[in-house]
Amino acid sequence: MEKASLSSISEPQESPVSSKKTPVIVKVVAILAPDDLDINSTKKGSRFVGSLPIQRPWIRQNHRHTERSPSMAPRSIEQTLAEAGRTGRPRRRIPMIDTSSNVCRTSSAPAKAPSAPTTVKSVEAGPTRPREIARGFEQRVSRLPPIPPRMPNVKLTLGHGKDGIRPTFQVNSSPRRKHPRLPRVPQRVEEKTSALASWATTAILGYQIMFQASFLVSRRTNLAHKLPGLWRWSSTAATSDTSNLPLHGVRVLDITRVLAGPYCTQILGDLGAEVIKIEHPTRGDDTRAWGPPFASYTKESGRKGPGESAYYLAVNRNKKSLGLNFQNPNGVAIIQELARDCDVFVENFVPGGLAKYQLDYASLSKINPRLIYASITGYGQTGPFSKRAGYDVMIEAEFGLMHITGSRDGPPVKVGVAITDLTTGLYCTNAVLAALLGRQKTGRGQHLDVALSDCQIASLTNLASSCLISKKPDTGRWGTAHPSIVPYQAFKTADGDILLGGGNDRLFGIMSEVLNQPDWPADERFASNAQRVKNRETLEEAIEQITRTKTTAEWLDAFEGSGMPYAAVNDVQDTLNHEHTRARGMVQTVSHPALGEIDLVNTPVKYSETQPRIRTPPPLLGQHTDEVLRELLGLKDDEIAKLRKDGIVA
């Protein structure tokens, strides 16, 4: 527990651009009574002047410490004053806080009174201040969210009322800057510590009033970007259509490309997070050029070109697009400033590739210690292959999946979709959600190292376990068949294919009845699954001779209601038009600003209370550049125009 001298709080210094600030005056209704101030030791006539204890609520969210170090033990008024250097006892080093300049210096000397009119008054500690005051204050504080690492310019005045100390806060809202903060050198750890210390004194006293201030301060004051994690006053970050979603209020910076990363951030966006997708200002995401097919632009849009790639449209809904060139120092500064107030940062560059831009975890975590930084790579941040680039198909080949995929005795083939990318995106999403929960306990972010190779190995599940236990090679490729179950595969019909799954003796008996072969279950060759596996080829050939005699639809009608697992082998178009697909709402029509009405695959999980949905279509390249720079960074139109002219944004 550190002590901060209240008498060291000086009047905020007005900068040239702050002369038009509109102050918002809010009074605190909570009475100052920190839990380590021994109220019972105060006597009538005693005076409390000097240091007040500062808790560090950004270390834990709920302030209910299960263990208390010796430095956190309750202290009497005399002990507090002694440690502040007001008696002959050894002095502690007291943080000297200047809220106007965000500078924290440590000194062994007693704090000097400010030159401005005194803002701290002596307080009579009367006998009518019960311990319940302290407990009530602690309970109110314990319910508050984590305190942000930054604070607006705040002036604190302590006055003495009949109920005890009553602080008055003057919150100066920040106007828009006359000049962009570019370029900006990343802050050092010491500077970040100073920024934290600059508001520590006022945080424990007046954290509640910031909630009241949020209703009074206009969005035009541009105060929101100074209070990360509490309010999002951009036009879409805190709109009513996300307020009931699980990740409402979470902001994500996405500088990923292609599939694994965009798939992860799309899921986060579906769950209510504000996702800002940073793309190259002219090329955009690589997948914008991956086609055909393309969704054509409408005539009304006035745009030229083939349209928007179907591949890109598949994994970029519920996002904003910021066209930005971070090979320019000013572009780097913009990302760093955005990262300051973001919760999650997702990238998929080769390990070390972002360090030269000071956009790696080591750099951004100094700017924002609460940042959750997810790195998606082919082979991870460590290991002999870590520096290699890798696409999904390379990982499929090198880490076992392709070897077990394909027809029996045929060549290895890749899976029809980039399943390793998708699996990695899902794992990364889970990791981000877990890290957000972990941050509520620790108050700090962390680095997530997500490798396609690791996720691919994890997806081998039972096959990997079989090899580990048996110490033998895998059983190879089986097509649609199962190495340990017969019948369990697709069979040809008169016009297509049908898949039958006889996973046990009962189901095999049902299938035999539908195929009009009631004697098969009694046949010694097919009496048990072990015997059916042994005589696999004979049984499979006999089944397919029968299934070829009817169409797929006829066999579907025959197996309907039998209790036998079966399915037609449909193509993708049939799947999207399937009556069950439509009944489950898995295809949603959305309005795109340049494409008109388009159909997209919807988010799959159905929630009873907080249902995610496609709120916004995949954005055009740079569609939200002006909005992000204006709303989140406070840049003016002429400043944005200059950045666009210089090729930094688009």
Q: Spell out the residues 6+ positions from residue 548 whose beta carbon is closer than 8 angstroms to its own.
A: 492, 493, 494
H/E segment holding residue 254: strand 251-255
Q: Which of 254, 360, 421, 454 is catalytic?
A: 421
CB 96 within 8 A of CB 6: no
Identity of the residue numbered 304: K
Angle between helices 419-442 and 260-270 (to 10 degrees): 50
Q: Spell out the residues 6+ positions from residue 623 whose beta carbon is closer than 8 angstroms to its own.
A: 320, 321, 593
Q: What 3-state DSSP class applies to 282?
A: coil
How far from 649 is each of 322, 583, 620, 646, CA to CA, in Å? 8, 43, 14, 8
Q: List the structure tokens of 112.
A: 């000097």
CA-to-CA distance for 209 and 141, rounded, in angstroms?
Answer: 11
CA-to-CA distance for 47 and 49, rounded, in angstroms?
Answer: 6
CA-to-CA distance for 334 and 182, rounded, in angstroms?
Answer: 8
CA-to-CA distance for 372 and 364, rounded, in angstroms?
Answer: 10
Asked whether the bond before 183 is cis by omega within 30 degrees of 0, the reply is: yes
Q: DSSP labels for 432-494?
A: HHHHHHHHHHHS---EEEEEHHHHHHHHTHHHHHHHHHH-S------TTS-SS-SSEEEEE-S
Q: DSSP labels for 396-428?
A: HHHTSTGGG-SSTTS-----SS-HHHHHHHHHH
∠ CA 497-499-504 to the nearest 5 degrees? 155
Q: What are phi and psi of 647, to 5 degrees?
A: 75, 15
Q: What are phi and psi of 307, to 5 degrees?
A: 120, -160
How far from 566 is each of 255, 399, 543, 584, CA to CA, in Å? 43, 31, 14, 20
H/E segment holding residue 632: helix 625-633
CA-to-CA distance for 571 and 552, rounded, in angstroms?
Answer: 13
CA-to-CA distance for 239 and 502, rounded, in angstroms?
Answer: 51
∠ CA 470-471-477 to the nearest 5 degrees? 80
CB 470 within 8 A of CB 410: no
Q: List the structure tokens of 591.
A: 């309005």
Q: List the structure tokens of 311.
A: 């591949």
**What count of other Cβ atoms lies within 10 Å of the Cβ of residue 118?**
11
CA-to-CA distance for 157 and 443, rounded, in angstroms?
Answer: 29
CB 143 within 8 A of CB 208: no
Identity of the residue numbered 354: L
Length of the chain: 650
Nearest alpha carbon to residue 262 among 286, 282, 280, 246 = 286
Q: Has 36 been annotated as catalytic?
A: no
∠ CA 319-621-374 to the nearest 5 degrees? 45
> 3 pairs with which residues across the strands?
53
> What residues are annotated to the active site?
421
